[in-house]
Chain A
Amino acid sequence: MESPVMLAAGILGTTGASLRRAARAGAGAVVTKSLGVEVREGHRGPTVVQVEGGLLNAMGLPNPSYRNFQEEIDIGRGGGSPVVASIFGADAEEFVEVATGLDADGFELNLSCPHAERFGAEIGCEACNVEAITRAVKRRVDVPVWVKLTPNVADVVALGLAAQRGGADGVVAINTLKAMAIDVESGRPILGNRFGGLSGPAIKPVAVRCVYDLASALDIPVIGVGGIATWQDAVEMMMAGARGVQVGTALGSGDGYGIFRSIAEGLSGYLERKGMALEELVGLARRFP
């Protein structure tokens, strides 16, 4: 990877053209919208609402099914960065069907979406499921497999260790925090799905803590995601132990796609100023017990 700054799953990953645009804008890797077995249109609107410190979303895993997505991955590869397919399923069998049905440069197992029945965090909150699904997919593909973890559990490290036992090449932390917003005029939950997942600046400290704990306990790499919008955020996440970072919600504000370059440049400038290599930054905060 040329840059440790990647496009997060679920953001601008529905079409090959937008994946390619992110890659050309400097994303070191791009992760697709999560793909499953069946075509899904997702939840009713509102699917996104702006709240204090971030966004609340409940898209509901809309996707055209992996059967209609290979062309988009191939177009996305035209941007020159690896295309990682985010995939979901109700069980190991479905995960394997999707993974073996796609030619991608890596897979990110969505075991953490907080707002879709039967999928994501509903199965990914149990360490035994995480281990079994990771192992099943790893057996059948020969590209890197990452597991994206949910923070909506008492012990995220237990999930990370399960992914590691299953043979994961890395874990991605964190998915969104379960959250809700209510319209005070009507008393109705705003999201069509009533509750959803919180992303953006508000969850960054939570993500930093999860990454710190995971990196302390795991031998495999941790990729940090959650509220990263500036190079300082990326540095902080790496100091917690992340080998790379993913950017999502921040794509919707400021200079949009320009964020990949601005974070990468800020990061290199910082390393130069400190006379450090990227590897020295990773986990730096763990030196202070």
Chain B
Amino acid sequence: MRPISARILEIVPETPTVRTLRFDHSLDPVPGQYLMVWVRGVDEVPMSISYRDGITVQLVGEATREIFDLEVGESLGLRGPLGNGFTLSGEKILLIGGGVGAAPLALLGEAAAEEGVEVSTLLGFRCCDEILFRERFERIGELVMTTDDGSQGICGRASAGLPALHLQEFDQIYLCGPEPMMADIIGRCPGMETKIQASIDRYFKCGMGICGSCCLDPSGIRVCIEGPVFRADQLVGTEFGRYKRGASGIKIERR
């Protein structure tokens, strides 16, 4: 499909570096799916879906800078929803998000709560100004928050909130956030890998499984169409948490 042209109906500033765009199109996503967003004249970048008709964007580079300059009534080109999305499973689930990774989890949590699933959430942010979707998560269940600087909730990274939760009680745990955070959480949940689903991030060019820029070592799994959501046991022993590749295909090691 060619990109559809979606008009912006509403822009919601969420934090100083994050804003939500609501479109005149329902995207009908599975929570965890993503869009390739064409900022005309600039670039096409993957974005996770945060509402049935919206995306939540963090200011990180040139394309997102351009998105921040858009006004209501202007439009973006959208391809998608793409990828597999999360699989909802069990009666009692835990969502763990870091930063703007909270966006797809909010959509998942709401869909789960609607089906009568008991939802708990652990979210980590840099500071109190960067807290995202607090009300959306509080509405659907228990919310534990951490901030790196201690300005709200528990002081520390998201993992600092784990002791406040009884991990064994959950049928399924859903992760979305910075890769070191997700790798850290998975490492702290030994034996639970098959109950954890993580939405991961790689350099996407085509979004249709042919260019190969997002393939994971050593399996060659294509994150753009076989992911972006994987069970943690599919990630153990892979490049996940160690390195990724940039636009040229060169490895970028994580520190």
Q: List the interface of chain A (C-beta within 8 A of B).
A: 10-22, 33, 39-42, 44-51, 55, 57, 59, 62-65, 68, 75, 181, 183, 185-186, 188, 190, 192, 248-249, 251-252, 256
Contact = CB atoms under 8 A, between A and B. Distances in A.
B215 interface: yes
Interface of B: 1-3, 5, 36, 38, 40-45, 75, 77, 79, 205-213, 215-220, 222, 225, 245-250
Given A15-B212, A252-B206, A256-B209, 19 more contacts: A10-B211, A14-B213, A14-B249, A17-B217, A17-B218, A18-B212, A21-B220, A41-B246, A42-B248, A45-B205, A48-B208, A51-B2, A59-B211, A64-B249, A64-B250, A68-B249, A181-B2, A248-B210, A252-B209
Nearest to B226: A256
A279 B213 CA distance: 37
Given A47-B205, A186-B5, A252-B209, A17 B247 contact: no
B206 A57 contact: yes
A15 B205 contact: no
Given A15-B249, A20-B220, A45 B210 contact: no
B35 to A, nearest CB: 12
A48 B205 CA distance: 8
Consensus secondary structure, chain A interface: loop
Contacts of A251: 209-210
A15 to B, nearest CB: 5
Contacts of B219: 17, 21
A12 B3 contact: no
Nearest to A25: B220
- In the complex, the 7 A-B pairs of residues with the closest C-beta atoms, listed nearest first: A45-B44, A21-B220, A41-B247, A185-B5, A17-B220, A18-B220, A252-B210
12 contacts: A12-B211, A14-B213, A14-B215, A19-B220, A20-B220, A33-B212, A46-B38, A48-B207, A183-B2, A190-B77, A252-B206, A252-B225
B59 to A, nearest CB: 18
B211 A63 contact: no
Contact of A183 (B77, B205, B245): B77
A2 B163 CA distance: 56
Contacts of B213: 14, 62
Contacts of A68: 249-250
Contacts of B222: 12, 18, 256
Contacts of A10: 211
A248 B210 CA distance: 8
Q: Which of A14, A57, A251 has the most CB of B within 10 A?
A: A14
A121 to B, nearest CB: 19
A185 B7 CA distance: 11
